Structure 1
Amino acid sequence: MPKNVLITGGAGFIGTRLAARFAADGHRVTVLDSLIAQVHGDDPERTSPLLRSLDGVATVVRGTVTSADDIRSALDGAQIVVHLAAETGTGQSMYEIDRYTEANVGGTAKLLDILANEPHSVGRVVIASSRSIYGEGAYRTEDGRIVYPPHRADAEMAAGDFAVHMPGEGALEMVPTTEEAKLHPSSVYGITKQMQESLIMTVCPTLGIEPVSLRYQNVYGPGQSLKNPYTGILSIFSTLIRQNKQINIFEDGLESRDFVYIDDVVEATFLAAVTPAAAGQVMNVGSGVATTVNDVVEALAAAYGRSVSSRISGNYRLGDIRHNVADVSRLADVLGYRPRVSFEDGVKRFANWVLTEPVEGESYERSLSEMAARNLLK
């Protein structure tokens, strides 16, 4: 049966595609989004392709999750809520602490406060959590035990030692992180995402609402912001390549991430919202494959068909993790879905889209200057 679906943050990279997926299945979609300039430009109605893509797909309510009145207006009649609205970016979160906490934690609290105290028709809430809540994630010791190491020390990284260490242990091997892993985020962003998830998973069952938490890994693909310097290295590196600028590879280039293509994220989120068995579940949404930063540079060079100038600088950011790869077996067990788009294929699709977009400006350099000024970039 068609349902009324509210997507907070629904005019963003993931939200617009998710809205289209719900609409294609016959559901009625409302989007609540503040249309911030960092993502949509100063004149969203004119400058935001993401916003325009919602024409005929969803009812758009311009507002913020930090306003109870805006939430209340958008929530009217909703039966499913997908809560995507959040400030994103690990680095920026370390010096815009109040803004991140107000939007991510405060906005979620306002949503739940309304659901707890006012009439509504919501039966399920899906929260977009993040792999950032794991911190460094899972590692295997030399004798086969699974451990969760502490955050890397500034002094060790300053000396060029970027590996993950744990007191009393020898060499550690990164392994896929399951949903049962220790939660110990290494950034303000990660802390706020952990709080979002905890609030939803704790409060919703007391209200008779089914909660689902999806721990997104590094989402990429056509439509992601090329203006926002906090959206990920694929956008950043692509812009540098198109500007014929050298790519500064942090650490030693062997740090890795789990890159998951937008179409796979959208399908997993849609299924999490409509599949009865997903109720109460916490699931990783990733590819299950670790890709190093050096691999990213090589893949982009191949996708753009050009030589890429790069330099392994040894620079590092406080709060960054070393490795990241998700165990996605629960996603398959609960939803019957496994990500389908390989990184090689996804990067080609992404690059083909990027080449249709204008070359953006100097926002990445400004973001690095901001971090360096605050002693967060070394």
Structure 2
Amino acid sequence: MGKKVLITGGAGFIGSHLGDLFLSRGYEVTAYDNLDKQVHGENPERPAYLNREIELVVGDVRDADLFSRTLKQADILVHFAAAVGVGQSMYEITRYTSINTMGAAVVLEQAVQQKDHIEKMLVASSMSIYGEGLYICPSCGEVNPKLRPAEQLASRRWDMLCPVCSQPCIPAPTPETKPLFPTSVYAVNKRDHEELFLAVGDAYGIPVTAMRFFNVYGERQALSNPYTGVGAIFASRLLNDKPPVVFEDGGQSRDFIHVHDIARGCLAAIESDKANGEVFNLGTGRKLSIMDVGTAIARELGKPSDNFIVNNQYRAGDIRHC
């Protein structure tokens, strides 16, 4: 018999793909998921895409009794369950913090009580905890700016300026060593996730790895899910013959990674002792502008890309590059 893995959020977009990969490697997989209506619809049922070999337990991670009973069967714990979405987190603060931070606390308390059979834990973090990414100033070198000032954005000057000398900066790949500057409730929650898991794992001798996911795309994304990225939103509008709406000038960029690569990265971390106690970015190291993403999607769908609405408007708290 293979080792047994419990994936919280295992019926969701990323969790289900990781479950597939575990099965292909001979693991036994249980998904623990609340089948949230925002993701799975008004009358949620077991997703058709969820492999039939995966046992599904429907429950909330804050339900300590049910989670404890489920965890008793596991050798490895993967914690993906979370309320997701940057924008929504800013006005549903209690719900997000309860599900995310308190939910992680319940999960960890149960893991500590059963630490004798938990061989490893992996927790999903997020690139959102960085705020803006790393930049290079031609004069000052590496800089870690915070958010762009409101007065700069109001004047439609979109690119990041050096916080020391005010020269325009060049975005660079963001390393794990960059100082954290979460700018949303969701980002603070994800920072809590990784710090709680790493601290508790170290204190109780349970190996832990934290994975900072960049912008994940691929099959099984639900358009109703606040986590759904700009690619899926653009595709939805294009398929409905509506032009995508692009904020700022379309030059803002992100690092996009396919969900299959996320799953492979998580499996590698779980199977390597060298990953114990570490934090890893999971991205490609390459940036794509939002306009380039939209143009590529339009081309693949056979839709026009010359009618995008570039509104030159900004949203408070949006980052330029990461």
Please, what TM-score do these two structures have when normalized by structure 2? 0.95
Matches within 5 A, 1:238-277: 238-277=235-274
Task: Tell me the equivalent position of 2:61.
Answer: 65
Q: Distance in 2 between matches of 1:186 and 1:115?
A: 30
With 173-182 and 311-320 compared, the bigger mean Cα shift is at: 311-320
Task: Tell me the equivalent position of 1:34.
Answer: 34
Structure number with greater CO (CA < 8 Å, separation at least 6) is 2
Task: Tell me the equivalent position of 2:232.
Answer: 235
Task: Tell me the equivalent position of 1:138.
Answer: 134
Task: Tell me the equivalent position of 1:182.
Answer: 179
Q: Secondary structure at the match of 1:16?
A: helix
Matches within 5 A, 1:315-330: 315-324=313-322
Corresponding letter in the other structure for 1:41: G
Task: Tell me the equivalent position of 2:50.
Answer: 54
**Alignment match of 1:283 (pick from 277, 280, 299):** 280
> Is the 8 Å Cα contact of residues 298 and 304 (structure 2) preserved in structure 1?
yes
Corresponding letter in the other structure for 2:21: R
1:311 aligns with 2:309: yes
1:103 aligns with 2:119: no
Q: Distance in 2 between matches of 1:108 and 1:229?
A: 20
1:287-318 C-alpha deviation (Å, 9 max, x unpaired):
11100011011101111112133111012222
Q: Secondary structure at the match of 2:298?
A: helix
Corresponding letter in the other structure for 2:24: A
Cα displacement (A) at 1:118: 4.8
Q: Distance in 2 between matches of 1:268 and 1:27?
A: 16
Q: CA RMSD in A?
A: 1.5
Q: Distance in 1 between matches of 2:113 and 2:76?
A: 18
Q: Secondary structure at the match of 1:126?
A: strand
Q: Percent identity?
A: 39
Matches within 5 A, 1:365-376: none
In the alignment, structure 1 segments of 5+ residues that lack a partner are 325-378
Q: Distance in 1 between matches of 2:183 and 2:50?
A: 35
Q: Distance in 2 between matches of 1:111 and 1:91?
A: 25
Task: Tell me the equivalent position of 1:43.
Answer: 43
Q: Distance in 1 between matches of 2:304 and 2:133?
A: 34
Corresponding letter in the other structure for 1:13: F
Q: Distance in 1 between matches of 2:65 and 2:21?
A: 27
Q: Secondary structure at the match of 1:146?
A: strand
Task: Tell me the equivalent position of 1:333.
Answer: none
What is the number of equivalent residue pairs in this alignment?
320
Task: Tell me the equivalent position of 1:114.
Answer: 110
> Is the 8 Å Cα contact of residues 3 and 28 (structure 2) preserved in structure 1?
yes
Cα displacement (A) at 1:66: 2.0
With 304-313 and 250-259 compared, the bigger mean Cα shift is at: 304-313
Cα displacement (A) at 1:27: 0.7
Q: Distance in 1 between matches of 2:224 and 2:164?
A: 44
1:81 aligns with 2:77: yes
> Is the 8 Å Cα contact of residues 137 and 182 (structure 1) preserved in structure 2?
no
In the alignment, structure 2 segments of 5+ residues that lack a partner are none
